[in-house]
Amino acid sequence: MTLTFYWYPNCGTCKKAKSWLDDHRIDYQAVHIVEHPPTEKELSSLIEKSNLPARKFFNTSGKRYRELNMKEKLKEAEDSQMVAWLASDGMLIKRPIVTDGNQVTVGFKADQFEENWL
pLDDT in tens, 22-38: 999 999 999 999 999 99
Q: What distance in Å separates the CA atoms of residue 26 and residue 117, rounded to the nearest whole number? A: 8
Q: How many domains does the chain have?
A: 1
Kindly report the CATH number assigned to the domain that includes residue 49.
3.40.30.10
- What span, in angstroms and rounded, lies between the C-alpha atoms of 74 and 79? 9
Q: The domain containing residue 66 runs over which residues?
A: 3-117
75-99 residue pLDDT tens: 999 999 999 999 999 999 999 999 9
